[in-house]
Structure 1
Amino acid sequence: MKVNKDHKTENFSPEMRLMLLCSLKQMSKEQIGKAREIISSGVERHAFIELIDQHRLIPVVCNHMFTHAGLTADDPLMKELRVFRNRRMIRSLKLASAWAEINAALNEAGIRVLQLKGPALCLQIHGDIHSRISKDLDLLVDRDDIDEADRVLRAAEYKRISPSPDLTPKQMKMWQKNHHHYSYIGANTINIELHFRLSTFVYGISFDMLWKNRRVGRFGKAEYAYLSPEEELLYYAYHGAQHAWNRLRWLVDIDELLRAGNANLDHLVRLARERRQTHVLSQAVLLCERLFLSDIPEALRETVNDDPLGKRIAEMAIPFILASEDGAGNLALKKYGLWIQRGFSQKRRFIAMHFQPQEKDFQSVKFADKVFFAYYPVRILNWAKKRLFGKRGQK
């Protein structure tokens, strides 16, 4: 897989530079001028569309292209962009409808639920439900409510695809240790991720505290709850960092939320220090500055400038951002993932997780819980098989 190792934005591909200029809600006159220069110099149509699709930025980029590109409606690029945008808008409307139904079902069951990303974030940033693409719905519930929430989703005809319903108690315990959400798919093709904690590697965040500090929004006649501004920013920074920012949409979210000015940035810095997540906050802010030319907020400047780890992982993330859809290679991602973990305990858990039995190991051979330890050599054998034979070893 080819990875661009030149980290200077002026040396990025024309398609990447054009996308970055058109990624935020507002474009300056200078940005519009630069975008038109790139377009007049030539943009590879299919590469550009693949790029904005990969980074889930089709709606905003398309809107700017329609308004500022200076191309006619009959231009092949504009025609193809219009088709792509309309498809994604239909998907967004479908997702919002499912969101309203599931939120109502969980509320009726008396389950406290916080909305993560998805339509709730789109409403917050754009004031509509179609300007931000989401593949799935992300819902956070209290760990104590996960079984009841699972029952509600299944009753609503959402099939749980992970964890498998037939896991034994010990298998389930191991699975929950190394994951933070259940995954579902509905007959309507909508995916749902039901979170029972914010992250696999960050424990100790009380749902009661998150709920106490929640905000409430409205969609039609229905209310929904979502995270406080500070919790929201820190969660999105950590989420994007964990995935090496392979979807720039997450970085756009952070940039727009910082511009909105709803967060108490002094409180955000304190929260990041308490959670040992200052480095991922710094990384996100530095990447916003680097890629979107956004100013670092004054309240964050000292924290960011005094954070060598944040600077290091910001540099490490650039190749993954520039990489194609299949990523920058498994080993490179694992190395980066280890850098993201802060402190010996988190790093140890990150390493240990890769040697502990996973769901596919449970499915490859069946052992009773009393000989659960037998899954450890199975894990090693399956890992070796995958490395030696690649995809053939998975058949």
Structure 2
Amino acid sequence: MDNNCSLDFSIIPRELRLLLEIIRTGKGDINGQFKNELFTDINWDNFLYLARHHRIYPMLYSKLKKFDGELIPIQVIQTLYHEYKKNTYQMLQLCAEMEQVSKLFTEHQIRLLFLKGPVIAADIYGDISLRTSKDLDILIPKTDLKRAEELLLNQGYERVEVQATLYEWKWSKHHVSYFHPQKKIELEIHWRLHPAPTKEPNFNELWQRKRISKLTSYPVYYLGDEDLFLFLVAHGVRHGWFRLRWLLDIDQMIRNGIINEKNNGLLKFFQQHYLGRHALILSSQLLNTPINEEMQSLTTGKRTRKQAQMAIFYIIEMGNSFSNEPFSIKLNLHKSFVLNLYQFSIRSNLQKFFYIIKLFYPSPADTEILRLPKSLQFLYFPLRPFLWVWRKTMKPI
């Protein structure tokens, strides 16, 4: 890749650097591929914490299970195996629930597309045990929301109520969550892929390009390959890639040949939308993702590189603007500024307008600091700057 697009990785901590080195090794024997200095002064507790946070421990274990060196403590390998096994059981449970929900909705004439979960783990990685999922995400037509909720409630699910202020923008919501207390399964019903106002294909267009999963005996449908790739890119960008699992999805899909001369839709997307280009830079430089010459030409430019560099900061801070260091008010404000600057920069002009307006509106986080009765919630407007500073300067409890 062009040196002009090289990112500054000097701020990446040693434990995260080691994680990346292991993840991007090939499928062959990894013994002897690492330099011993990579393992020097590693805090293994932090190493495991990062593996869990970034949700990459299944892939990590799959690469380290045959590692016979003495560089990694056996306790670390055993912990990764325990997490890997626990995730495999959870994915199998989600797979069974996915089939049941698909059958339930289909029998009641509700079309549904699975956005994440075991279905994309099998599609992208070829093995449901190599990707984590904490819940099932389903997209349905908005007109079917009421009927879908009735079906889920009859099956024992409970709607997860999110505390909201009087002035919350309900139109910006794009999903609602349900939880089954006996099965311990969370399910999200989406009527949009992304929060409004975001331009996206309508459900009928996505349905026409759907694929059928080979995981289950009863038909389970999910997004077409291009739609899934664009959905994962937009989702990762919106969240600043603060979980490397999302970037690993992009890496695997590119390695599987999702970007080629036949996929004109993807090429057109990256030509017209600069915000997706830094996903290519991050994937290629953090995970050694192979990018063809045509796509490499799209990763040049100061704006693209700057966004990718801000995303590195977002990944390191895990989307958290707080610091546990003493007297960290200035540091917390700086982190908050950089993280918000990134979130602002990835938006379209219309989205930037609403982003600025929304900064002045009360949020659920404000109510956690100061609870006011409904009759006094208008006070959240003048108090919001003070509550914001309080959140960004005080250490989390």
**Letter in structure 1 aligned against 2:189:** L
Which residue pairs with 1:186 in the alignment?
A: 180
Which residue pairs with 2:356 in the alignment?
A: 351
Query: Which residues in structure 2 correspond to 1:312-327 (within 5 Å)?
Result: 312-324=306-318, 326=320
Matches of 2:83 and 2:147, distance apart in 1: 38
Following superposition, the deviation at residue 63 of structure 1 comes to 1.4
Matches of 1:330 and 1:315, distance apart in 2: 16
Following superposition, the deviation at residue 158 of structure 1 comes to 2.0
Matches of 2:84 and 2:279, distance apart in 1: 27
Deviations along 1:101-120, one digit per CA (max 9) or x if unpaired, are 22222222211111112111
Contact 2:139-2:190 at 8 Å conserved across structures = yes
Query: Which residues in structure 2 correspond to 1:1-395 (within 5 Å)?
Result: 8-9=8-9, 12-24=12-24, 26-27=26-27, 33-35=32-34, 37-38=36-37, 41=40, 43-68=42-67, 70-71=69-70, 75-162=74-161, 175-187=169-181, 188-200=183-195, 201-263=197-259, 264-272=262-270, 278-305=273-300, 307-324=301-318, 326=320, 329-342=335-348, 344-356=349-361, 358=363, 364-366=372-374, 377-381=379-383, 384-385=386-387, 387-388=389-390
Structure 2: tracts of 5 or more residues without a match:
1-6, 323-334
Q: Structure 1's 358 and 40: CA in aligned 2 closer, same or farther, altered over 3 A?
A: closer
Matches of 1:72 and 1:389, distance apart in 2: 41
**Letter in structure 2 aligned against 1:234:** L
Following superposition, the deviation at residue 51 of structure 1 comes to 0.9
Q: Structure 1's 35 and 389: CA in aligned 2 closer, same or farther, altered over 3 A?
A: closer
Deviations along 1:339-390, one digit per CA (max 9) or x if unpaired, are 0102x211101222333455678995436xxxxxx86553443563453477
Matches of 1:376 and 1:321, distance apart in 2: 36
Q: Percent identity?
A: 25
Contact 2:254-2:289 at 8 Å conserved across structures = no
Contact 1:182-1:194 at 8 Å conserved across structures = yes
TM-score by length of 2: 0.82
**Letter in structure 1 aligned against 2:134:** K
Deviations along 1:186-218, one digit per CA (max 9) or x if unpaired, are 212222221111111413531111111111212
Following superposition, the deviation at residue 66 of structure 1 comes to 1.1
Contact 2:233-2:276 at 8 Å conserved across structures = yes
**Letter in structure 2 aligned against 1:296:** I
Contact 2:255-2:289 at 8 Å conserved across structures = no
Matches of 2:392 and 2:298, distance apart in 1: 43
Matches of 2:234 and 2:201, distance apart in 1: 14
Contact 1:280-1:340 at 8 Å conserved across structures = yes
- SS of equivalent residue, structure 1 residue 43: coil
Q: Structure 1's 72 and 243: CA in aligned 2 closer, same or farther, altered over 3 A?
A: closer
- SS of equivalent residue, structure 1 residue 185: strand
Following superposition, the deviation at residue 90 of structure 1 comes to 2.5
Q: Structure 1's 11 and 330: CA in aligned 2 closer, same or farther, altered over 3 A?
A: closer
Matches of 1:73 and 1:331, distance apart in 2: 37
Contact 1:234-1:272 at 8 Å conserved across structures = no
Cα RMSD (Å): 3.4
Matches of 1:125 and 1:25, distance apart in 2: 18
Whichever structure has more helix as a proportion of its residues is 1
Matches of 1:379 and 1:134, distance apart in 2: 37
The structure 1 segments of at least 4 consecutive aligned residues displaced by more than 4 Å after TM superposition are 71-74, 357-364, 374-377, 389-392
Contact 1:286-1:296 at 8 Å conserved across structures = no
Following superposition, the deviation at residue 84 of structure 1 comes to 2.4
Which residue pairs with 1:4 in the alignment?
A: none
**Letter in structure 2 aligned against 1:366:** K
Following superposition, the deviation at residue 181 of structure 1 comes to 1.2
Contact 1:55-1:249 at 8 Å conserved across structures = yes
Matches of 2:70 and 2:108, distance apart in 1: 52
